[in-house]
């Protein structure tokens, strides 16, 4: 039995969701990498009009919100994360009117819109940095950034030993002799958040986009805005690496939290429950939880879950730790499998048929967990990392540190329709070449296949939206065979999950086999959805390796398959 979708008799809980003001606690948020989503004008680069034209796909998929990567004016040294003007749209992506139209139509279709804000650094083409270069050492213009004299007799050595995330020293020397700090590319000079002008500028930037109608911000490098006092050498003795990204010791300074508190106060002053999401690479779940205290950010990306291996014990440990630490501060936990900065999880989970099978099971596991989930564009199609791109197309500055860490392969444009590249991406070509074999993975092809990855995601998101046990809340672990994860979710009585007089309960159980052997598990009620073939065997269900199933019990039982 594959993808046995729940029938139309399931009771809807739209009233419960509408009555819940804190939509972000269990929202499913879809990440659009604007450059690679859909192209409207034939230049081979995705744009805001292209996103707007494809909003029906997101509505049919069943997500709650869309997060847009930077579309601001930029020289594109880091594909938009080097911002030259925070209050305008780069011409390759459209215009401010395109942004307004996109937000307006998304809202009309029931989708919220989250945009990126990049506060750690600007572009070196930003008016502020250009003024700093012209003004010279000691000027108020340079005080907005982190300029320092060099070390050594002639100042020819960098001010400290800090390294860039993209490789090499985090300092670049200017003809005047001073050095400026850039924790990423040299074209991305770091701002000095000790300067009140920087605070005031970004408060105004946030207000600009909030007034335009956006529902929140994904805060880039939320852990890096404040630097350690005195900019001391670090020696690089205690480094943590996650998916090739080094968590440098000078990140995650406590001073960032006061900035986030001030932004939370600003967001709370607007109607409509506007939110902030931290991109914070913290070394532990405990440190990550600090970013989502009740007076700070609403959510933080759970990179500890993203990076965990395909292993039952390891996944359970991360799930339990994530739920425990977020509960301590009253925040929802987030779950994410891929994004625009890491290899796609189909590839990380083994690639090929094994990777796809595991990705299908991983989707049901993630969407059954308590909290909010993020979907990176293309994962609903089962896209793998494109690993054989021609050298002339590889432009990611991160490759300077390590050629294997380049992010181009997860940013290849989406295949929408047709039998040959660019598969309906736009009327022209595509800025990165698309593999010919993606003809079988287009939205058009998968929409007509009930066994496809797209059909699985649509079914899972429909059930998640309608079933009162899913979304925000808690879980209860159940005992299962080695190599499995099994837990139940119970709907609260107020959400239609129980009747105080009859004691009727409504539970959903998720069972996932992450091992390499077929196992038999209790039926846990009626099967709603499975990631792959399952079958009954007496009083049990046969669950093959790398397979997940959702089952429902409605009754007075204990959640272990008994009524």
Residues with a known catalytic role: 220, 279
CA-nearest of 340, 334, 353 to 414 is: 340
Give CA–CA dist 378/382, Å, rounded: 7
Residue 189, number of CB atoms within 10 A of its CB? 27
Q: What angle do CA 443, 445, 451 make, to 5 degrees?
A: 95
Compute CA 158 distance to the chain's CA centroid, rounded to the nearest angstrom. Answer: 34
Give CA–CA dist 466/482, Å, rounded: 31
CA-nearest of 465, 463, 461, 443 to 452 is: 443
Residue 268, number of CB atoms within 10 A of its CB? 11
Give CA–CA dist 425/246, Å, rounded: 34
Q: Give the Å distances, CA to CA, from 378 to 20, 61, 84, 323, 351.
A: 29, 12, 29, 27, 15
* Strands 240-242 and 245-247, sheet pairing: antiparallel
Q: What is the DSSP string of 394-462?
A: ---GGGGT-GGG--GGG-PPPP-SSSSTTTTS-SS--SS---GGGGGGSHHHHHT-TTSHHHHHHHHHH
Say if residue 556 is preceded by a cis peptide, omega within 30 of 0: no
Is residue 67 within 8 Å of 49, Cβ to Cβ? no
* Strands 526-530 and 547-555, sheet pairing: antiparallel
Dihedral angle computed from the Cα positions of residues 245, 249, 252 and 255, in that order, rounded to the nearest 10 degrees: -150
Surface-to-core class of residue 406, CB atoms within 10 Å of its CB (0-12 exposed, 13-18 middle, 19+ buried)? buried
Give CA–CA dist 357/374, Å, rounded: 19
Surface-to-core class of residue 74, CB atoms within 10 Å of its CB (0-12 exposed, 13-18 middle, 19+ buried)? buried
Q: Would you state the structure tokens that stand for residue 309, as one six-digit string?
A: 């291996």
Contacts of 268 (CB under 8 A, 6+ apart): none
Q: Give the Å distances, CA to CA, from 112 to 58, 66, 67, 167, 403.
A: 11, 6, 9, 36, 36
Is residue 515 within 8 Å of 545, Cβ to Cβ? yes
């Amino acid at each position: 039995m594959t993808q046995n979708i729940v029938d139309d008799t399931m009771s809807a809980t739209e009233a419960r969701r509408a009555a819940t003001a804190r939509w972000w606690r269990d929202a499913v948020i879809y990440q659009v990498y604007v450059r690679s989503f859909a192209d409207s004008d034939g230049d081979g680069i995705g744009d805001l009009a292209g996103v707007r034209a494809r909003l029906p796909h997101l509505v049919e998929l069943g997500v709650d919100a869309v997060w847009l990567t930077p579309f601001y004016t930029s020289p594109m040294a880091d594909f938009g994360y080097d911002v030259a003007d925070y209050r305008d749209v780069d011409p390759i992506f459209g215009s401010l009117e395109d942004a307004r139209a996109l937000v307006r139509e998304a809202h009309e279709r029931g989708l919220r819109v989250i945009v990126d804000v990049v506060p750690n650094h600007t572009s070196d083409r930003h008016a502020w940095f250009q003024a700093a270069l012209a003004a010279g050492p000691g000027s108020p213009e340079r005080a907005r950034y982190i300029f320092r004299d060099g070390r050594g007799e002639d100042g020819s050595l960098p001010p400290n030993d800090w390294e860039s995330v993209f490789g090499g020293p985090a300092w670049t020397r200017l003809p005047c002799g001073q050095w400026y700090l850039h924790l990423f590319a040299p074209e991305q000079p770091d701002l000095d958040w000790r300067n009140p002008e920087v605070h005031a500028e970004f408060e105004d930037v946030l207000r600009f986009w909030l007034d335009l109608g956006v529902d929140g911000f994904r805060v880039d490098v939320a852990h890096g805005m404040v630097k350690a006092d005195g900019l001391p050498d670090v020696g690089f003795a205690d480094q943590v690496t996650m998916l090739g990204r080094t968590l440098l010791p000078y990140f995650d300074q406590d001073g960032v939290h006061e900035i986030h508190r001030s932004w939370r106060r600003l967001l709370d002053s607007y109607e409509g429950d506007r939110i902030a999401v931290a991109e914070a690479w913290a070394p532990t779940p405990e440190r990550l939880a600090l970013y989502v205290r009740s007076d700070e950010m609403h959510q933080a990306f759970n990179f500890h879950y993203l990076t965990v291996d395909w292993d039952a014990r390891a996944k359970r440990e991360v799930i339990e730790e994530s739920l425990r630490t977020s509960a301590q501060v009253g925040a929802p936990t987030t779950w994410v499998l891929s994004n625009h900065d890491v290899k796609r999880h189909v590839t990380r989970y083994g690639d090929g048929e094994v990777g796809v099978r595991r990705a299908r099971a991983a989707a049901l596991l993630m969407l059954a967990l308590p909290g909010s989930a993020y979907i990176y564009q293309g994962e609903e199609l089962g896209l793998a990392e494109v690993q054989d791109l021609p050298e002339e197309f590889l432009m990611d500055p991160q490759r300077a540190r390590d050629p294997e860490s380049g992010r181009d392969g997860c940013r290849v444009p989406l295949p929408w329709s047709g039998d040959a590249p660019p598969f309906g991406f736009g009327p022209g070509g595509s800025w990165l070449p698309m593999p010919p074999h993606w003809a079988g993975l287009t939205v058009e092809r998968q929409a007509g296949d009930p066994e496809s990855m797209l059909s699985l995601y649509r079914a899972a998101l429909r059930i998640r939206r309608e079933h009162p046990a899913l979304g925000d809340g808690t879980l209860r672990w159940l005992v299962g065979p080695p190599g499995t994860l099994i837990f139940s979710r119970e709907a609260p009585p107020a959400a239609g999950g129980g009747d105080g007089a009859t004691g009727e309960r409504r539970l959903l159980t998720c069972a996932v086999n992450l091992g390499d052997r077929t196992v038999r598990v209790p039926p846990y009620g009626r099967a709603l959805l499975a990631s792959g073939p399952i079958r009954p065997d007496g009083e049990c269900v046969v669950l093959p390796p790398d397979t997940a199933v959702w089952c429902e019990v409605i009754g007075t039982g204990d959640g272990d398959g008994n009524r």
